[in-house]
Structure 1
Amino acid sequence: MSDKRYVDDEKGERKGVIQPIEEHEKLNEDLHDLTVIAERKDQQTVPLDEIIENLKKQGILPSSL
């Protein structure tokens, strides 16, 4: 359950919200992640097998994987 509190104007219309800082930070992180995804949408992708092979060649992953 959320601890959000809403700020209403004199007409009863919601104009703002007060939320726990942890929730605010999580929403900001999610927004940042979505922004990065949108910025990279036209970038070429690399198959996972190719990434794993390159990591093995660099000695980052064991060759037995």
Structure 2
Amino acid sequence: MKGVEFVVDDSGKKKAVLIDLEQWGELWEDFCDVLVSESRKKEPTVPWSELKAEMKKGVQKGG
């Protein structure tokens, strides 16, 4: 794959990958977003209406 290079150990086993971010940056960003999303799956949620009200309060206070 162009723009992707594998780093291997002495036995040829893949250990790391180098990614050309100019070429694959957007895809890498999407991948990172998925990882963050998955890591937060079990965190408690806040209803949208509650979050919206809190945000509105912050804007009214100038913050």
CA RMSD of aligned residues (A): 1.9
TM-fit CA distance, 1:47: 0.7
User: C-alpha distance in 2, partners of 1:54/1:21?
Assistant: 37
Identity %: 32
TM-fit CA distance, 1:21: 5.1
1:36 aligns with 2:36: yes
More helix by share: 2
Unaligned runs of at least 5 residues, structure 2: 4-19
Matched AA of 1:18 = K
SS where residue 38 of structure 1 aligns? helix
User: C-alpha distance in 2, partners of 1:23/1:41?
Assistant: 30
SS where residue 46 of structure 2 aligns? coil
- Matched positions, count: 44
Matched AA of 1:56 = K
TM (normalized to structure 2)? 0.57
SS where residue 56 of structure 1 aligns? helix
Unaligned runs of at least 5 residues, structure 1: 1-16
1:18 aligns with 2:2: yes
Q: Which has the larger radius of gyration?
A: 1
TM (normalized to structure 1)? 0.56
Deviates more, 1:22-31 or 1:38-47: 22-31
